[in-house]
Amino acid sequence: MTMFWSIGAGLLVAAMLFYILFRDWDEFVHCVKFYFTPDVISLFQGKWDEDMWAELKLLVWLGLSWLTGWLVYINY
């Protein structure tokens, strides 16, 4: 039962943070594309700062969602 609640809490936080961090699905896909683009290529294209911001948003979104599920699982 704890596993059910932890997955549910993680998904709920992921859904709420999705609308806070990403305006729509297109911006999310844009951030994922930046994640898979090497930083050197972004630097030469002049989009290094946009690349870093996109990767940070993905990291925060995934990290907080996972952390919420884990904390619920260990009954914190």
pLDDT the model gives residue 17: 95
The token pair that represents 47 in the structure block = 């989009």
Query: Would you give the DSSP letter of residue 46?
Result: T
**CB-CB contact of 60 with 1 (8 Å):** no
Q: According to the model, what pLDDT value does residue 2 have?
A: 84
> What's the pLDDT band for 1 if we cut at 50, 70, 90?
confident
Cβ atoms < 10 Å from Cβ of 76: 8
Please give the pLDDT value at position 47: 93
Query: Each residue of 14-40: pLDDT tens digit?
Result: 999 999 999 899 999 999 999 999 999
Count of domains observed in the chain? 1
CA distance 59 to 48: 16
Record the tokens describing residue 29, joined without a space.
């896909």
Range of the domain at 40: 2-73
Question: What pLDDT sits at residue 64?
Answer: 97
Cα atoms in the Cβ-side hemisphere of radius 13 Å centred on 75: 2
